[in-house]
Chain A
């Protein structure tokens, strides 16, 4: 094989790991979430966040939004593995369709007095967070925003007496006139 210079291909390339947001439309039947979550754990994929609720009650259809990470080839595998589950109707990679709107909601409880309490109020108003509950020593704020915004907000609140966080995970939708 003279035209073949080497028996082996190039050295292994390190592929970059990217974050993808997937929208999955499924039949809302018992066990469907276990099927999807189990697929991720069984095949060693990551779930960064997962949100699910029935979106069409008449047709019993739910929309699941999963944020996952992986190399391009792993993301491709994840999508085709999801696609072959019987109750899955569609899998759309919102990261590939470009510039999707991604939001999540978080609730934070901060406890403190004096300067900390004043600073917490200032930060909350700077981020545009809503006050859902207040006592003389505590606040519960609600913030809706991108994951990065939420992360920043939580990090700042940690310094002024954050005691509890609850987050929904990402809900996402492609921009523009076209529906999924």
Chain B
């Protein structure tokens, strides 16, 4: 049944029909009709952010912690350009978003009108798809199609650019029977012959390892439970990328921890020496592979990915399987049970023993201190004291992010939100706001650095306004820690512009925003302070003053292979100057 309504009303109606409960946005001239339509209803709740970048990250946090599509509404020109960083972030990490941007009226497009920019041109490369709506007849289809494209196949952000005159134009709206795109149909079922071949390869493996990524999370909680089933059935060890943490419980003995540049010794060496690698929903990112020509030199590689362009992009694989993780894992579990393969128990025992030997190296050990809070210790205590609660963790980008990934143990999917691909400082606070909104009863902590948090600090107002009791846990070392660490590695310890000069008093800042400020600088006081933070039912900024010189280890320096890791006691054991470990070629890399 079709109804007549304006374009602006169609936007809100389509959101309602999609089951959208919350949208994140910021009003402006070119979206006023939509904000007016929003005013006349109460099904879709609008969260007013303080900067459009914050809106997109909040929608990302909302999407990743709930499995729904995140929705953003911003105005034309600066509204759209401010959203670009968030869109690029969602593109890199495959987060499903629909971002509606206002546009100047159709007859003014191209005239350099006030607050005009070529939004579809600018966002073409940082969205999965985008639309400029030129006629009211197309609007209902495009709105629903946008949700389909954002959430099907490899998820990603979709922009719908909507000129102001179309928002005023009346047209006929009816909810489409299905919102599929007319031709876009990504394959979800894997090729059975290839899955059979994969099972055979796995059955004959002597040194196998699962390497899983964000694709498992995107595929939904069902994929994570199938992954757990398959890993337990096979008994193989498993490692995960940054984006995949939580798909497999970190406390399980088969889990080797995160791999890659700041991954564990055991995970990286297992990758280096394995004979069969089973990649499920990961994309061989350069932070994972290190030096490409020395990456896992003895392995046959199985790669399950929904995006054919991920196959053979960085690393050649032997057995590509195009499909959705959950579908492929389901087939794998069924086949493994049916065939009940005779695995080489002796070889697998040797392999496990070898891995246990690496694990005994205890690569995440650090020198404890009674004087200053070690950042690693702070994360460990935060983890221990929040264990057993429903906890969601977001991060900013830098050393604190890597420490969070290393020391906070995630047992469930969708509990961990971080900017992996784009590495966007300022992601954590808005993402925490989105996650808190989607999970009102949960504890949501943004593990932050004192530099990153200032990039989207203004969103503290949003948290206070909507009474979202997010906890901002700042590991404050007064440095852009990862920049400083790289300056030590590459540039002779010349700390060019990496000192956080003129920091605000975070306690007073929290209070100024109407939140709660806390500070802790003694290891002995830390537990009590963290517990107090957890129990405050308001937004908290926790300024945790940590060791200023601590670096993030283990580390695979740029241009090095998995078996050339730097460990935390590197300097102590060998006396090698940290500035000499990366060669000239490595210095060219990022």
Mark A residues whose CB is within 8 Å of B: 1, 4, 6-9, 12, 27, 30-31, 34-35, 38, 42, 73, 76-77, 80-81, 83-87, 89
Contacts and interface: CB of A to CB of B under 8 A. Distances in A.
B121 interface: yes
Contacts of A6: 297
B120 A86 contact: no
A8 B307 contact: no
Interface in B279-335: 293-294, 297-298, 307-309, 311-313, 316
Given A31-B120, A86-B129, A89-B183, A8 B309 contact: no
B309 A77 contact: yes
Q: Which 4 A-B pairs have the closest CB atoms?
A: A80-B309, A86-B129, A80-B308, A81-B309
A80 B309 CA distance: 5
A87 to B, nearest CB: 8
B59 interface: no
B309 A42 contact: no
A84 to B, nearest CB: 5
Contacts of B308: 80, 83-84
B297 A7 contact: yes
Contact of A9 (B132, B154, B293): B293
Given A84-B154, A86-B181, A31 B309 contact: no
Contact of A42 (B125, B154, B182, B183): B125
Nearest to B316: A73
A7 B129 CA distance: 43
B132 A7 contact: no
Given A12-B293, A27-B183, A31-B132, A38 B312 contact: no
B121 A34 contact: yes
Contacts of A34: 121, 124
Interface of B: 120-121, 124-125, 128-130, 132, 134, 149, 153-154, 181-184, 273, 293-294, 297-298, 307-309, 311-313, 316, 561, 563
Given A8-B293, A9-B297, A30-B134, A77 B313 contact: yes
A76 B134 contact: no
A8 B124 contact: no
A88 B293 CA distance: 33
A77 B183 contact: no
Given A31-B124, A34-B124, A42-B125, A84 B309 contact: yes
A7 B563 contact: yes
In this complex, which of B120, B149, B563 has the most chain A Cβ atoms within 10 angstroms of its Cβ? B120
Nearest to B186: A84
* Contact residues of B: prevailing secondary structure: loop
7 contacts: A1-B273, A76-B312, A80-B309, A80-B311, A86-B128, A86-B181, A87-B129
B297 A8 contact: yes
A4 B129 CA distance: 46
A37 to B, nearest CB: 10
Contacts of B313: 77
A43 to B, nearest CB: 10
A89 B149 CA distance: 14
Given A7-B294, A7-B561, A31-B120, 8 more contacts: A9-B297, A30-B134, A34-B124, A77-B313, A80-B307, A80-B308, A86-B149, A87-B129
A84 B294 CA distance: 30
In this complex, which of A34, A76, A86 has the most chain B Cβ atoms within 10 angstroms of its Cβ? A86
B209 to A, nearest CB: 15
B561 A86 contact: no
Nearest to A8: B294
Contacts of A81: 309
Contact of B125 (A8, A38, A73, A84): A38
A103 to B, nearest CB: 28
A7 B294 CA distance: 7
In this complex, which of A4, A7, A38, A85 has the most chain B Cβ atoms within 10 angstroms of its Cβ? A7
Nearest to A31: B120
In this complex, which of A73, A80, A81 has the most chain B Cβ atoms within 10 angstroms of its Cβ? A80
A81 B311 CA distance: 11
Contact of B298 (A4, A35, A38): A4
Contact of A84 (B132, B181, B183, B307): B307
Given A7-B561, A34-B124, A38-B125, A73 B312 contact: yes
A1 B207 CA distance: 11
A122 to B, nearest CB: 50
Contacts of B311: 80
Nearest to A86: B129
B565 to A, nearest CB: 14
Contacts of A77: 309, 312-313
B421 to A, nearest CB: 15
A38 B122 CA distance: 11
B312 A30 contact: no
Contacts of B561: 7
Contacts of B153: 84
A38 B124 contact: yes
B294 A86 contact: no
A173 to B, nearest CB: 22
A28 to B, nearest CB: 13
Nearest to B154: A84
Contacts of B297: 4, 6-9
A61 B181 CA distance: 15
Contacts of B563: 7
A83 B121 contact: no
B87 to A, nearest CB: 15
Nearest to A76: B312
B364 to A, nearest CB: 25
A56 to B, nearest CB: 13
Contacts of B128: 86
Contact of A30 (B132, B149, B182, B273): B132
